[in-house]
Structures are given as C-alpha cells and as structure tokens.
Amino acid sequence: MTVTKITFFDIPTVLPVPTSPNTWKVRLALNYKGLCYQTRWVETTDIESVSKSLGIPPTGTSPSGVPTYTLPALIDNTFSPPAILSDSTPIIEYLERRYPDPDPTHVLLPSGSRALQALFEYHVATSITAHLLPVMVMHMYSKKTPRDRAHFRQRMEAAFGKKLEDIELKGRDREEAWKRIEGSFDLLSKLLEKNVHGIYFMGENLSLADCMLGGLMLTLRYDSPDEAWLKVVSWNNGRWARYMAALEKWAVVH
Ligand SMILES: N[C@@H](CCC(=O)N[C@@H](CS)C(=O)NCC(=O)O)C(=O)O
C-alpha cells in the first residue's frame, strides 16, 4: 500500500457502507491503486458548508446560477501545496497522474482511451442512471441518515411537486421501468461478449468504465438488496454477479 496523506470525502448511510455511485467509483479506484487514505464522512446536508470551509471547488451551478457542491471530493496533503479536488473523473485522473502504477497494464485510463471512457460514462448515465429514481427513490431514502432523509425529502418534493412516496412508480409502471433498465444491461452484456478475454470493459484490466459501472452496481446492491440487486444478478445469465465478484476485492471501506 502506498503511504499518502489522502482524505477522501464520502457520504454516510445507516449501513456500514456508503451507497453513492460516484463516491464508490473513486473508492474502487483508490483501492485498486492500493493507496492509503482516510475517509471523512459528510452528510449530504453538510456537503456545501464543509466544501466551502475547506476550499473544495463546486461541481456545478444551479439553474439560478448558484455554485453546487457534491461528493466525492479528495484532499491530498502528501505534497505542498495540497491537491484539493472534487468531481469523480477528475479525481481519478489526478490519482493516475500522481500515483502511476509501476505495472503498465494497471492503468485506469489507458492512453488514447479517454474519449471512449467518457462516451461509456455518458451512455450509462443516460441509459441507466437517469431512469433509476422512480424505482429506487424509497430504497435510497431508507438508507440515508435521519438528517439526510429530511433534506432529501424536502429537495425531492420541491423538485417534483409531490410527496416522495408518489414519485415512486408502482405496479405495472414499475415493472415496465425495470424492463427498460434491463434492456440497457442487455446491451452492455452483448457488447462485453465482443471481448474475447477478460471480464472488464477493456478486457483483462480494470478501467475507469468499470469503476463507474461497478460504483453504480454497488449502489443498487446496498440501496436495494431485495429488489434491484435480485433483478440485476438474475439478468444475462449471471454476468453481473460474476462481474461484481471480480470487483469485490476493491469494494472495501477503509
Ligand atoms: N459529477 C459529480 C457528481 C457527483 C454527485 O452527484 N454526487 C452525489 C452523490 S453520488 C452528491 O454529492 N449529491 C449531493 C447532493 O445531492 O446534494 C461526480 O462525478 O463526482
């Protein structure tokens, strides 16, 4: 394990593990790279104030032009001045730059693959992540800390103009939404079959794409073990259970 002074900012839940896809994406990368880091847990309610107090940059702007703050974030005090970063992909790019693996096959962003990795991320975000809220909202809510539950309910109800419980699809609409999500996993599975060797998107070596999809899968597994995860592992002849098993050694919380 490489000794560093890295603080990684993640969101706590009522479980012993986090459930945020973007923080899992970076955690998988940190663990894969064998970096030593400590986690600072920040409830969603406090992300903005903690980020501002530490000089962590915003990751977006609200429609009214106000800067918005998200996790993951990372502060690396190994060097002077410290690196202070937010946004999952730039954090992973930084880690790759600062801590290249001596083994040239252990590269999360192989040279020349950034556009394809970005295209993959865009595809998963628009074909899977964007469709999850109406089937996951109550699962997500139930795993949040009590403070974050209140914050989540208030923001979601303001955004959708209805009660949290009514954002969630039920009955036939719910099954149809799951079918669409299954279709997106089917496509990924078909594409993975094109690789002759290896279980990952770039074959035998983990890449950013796997950190992203792996992070999303960990969210499904921990937020919704008895619905989402049961479905995912039943799809594509168990491909996703095998895929997750391959990532398991890096899916740990330090
Ligand atoms: N582009 C950012 C997005 C990060 C993001 O959306 N993080 C969520 C948790 S997975 C968050 O911090 N949400 C805080 C909030 O909704 O206030 C990244 O890739 O890191």
User: For the segment 164-202, what is each residue's pLDDT rounded down to a tens digit?
Assistant: 999 999 999 999 999 999 999 999 999 999 999 999 999
Fold of the domain spanning 114-250: Glutathione S-transferase Yfyf (Class Pi); Chain A, domain 2 (1.20.1050)
CA distance readout (Å), 216 to 7, 10, 21, 112, 117: 22, 15, 5, 25, 15
pLDDT at 85: 98
User: CB of 44 closer than 6 A to ligand 1?
Assistant: yes
Res 105: pLDDT: 87
Give tens-digit pLDDT for 197-237: 999 999 999 999 999 999 999 999 999 999 999 999 999 99
User: Which pLDDT belongs to residue 59?
Assistant: 98
Tokens 């999952």 found at: 88
Ligand 1: distance of its center to the CA of 111 in Å?
27
Q: How far apart are CA 171 and CA 196, in angstroms?
A: 40
Say what the pLDDT of residue 102 is. Answer: 86
Q: What pLDDT does 251 receive? A: 98
Q: What per-residue confidence (pLDDT) applies to 66? A: 96
- Cα 122 to middle of ligand 1, angstroms: 15
92 CA distance to ligand 1 centroid (A)? 15
The structure tokens 């880091």 sit at 37
C-beta 21 within 6 A of ligand 1: yes
Whole-number pLDDT of residue 76: 98
Domain boundaries, the chain: 2-98, 114-250
Check whether domain 2-98 has CATH 3.30.70.520, yes or no = no
* Residue spans of the chain under pLDDT 70: 1
CA of 72 to the centre of ligand 1 (A): 7
List beta partners, residue 20: none
Looking at residue 4, its pLDDT comes to 78
Atom of ligand 1 nearest to the CA of 20: 10
Report the atom number in ligand 1 closest to the C-alpha of 22.
10
The residue to which tokens 């410290």 are assigned: 82
Among residues 25, 30, 54, which one has the least CA distance to residue 42?
54
Provide the token pair at 21: 């896809």
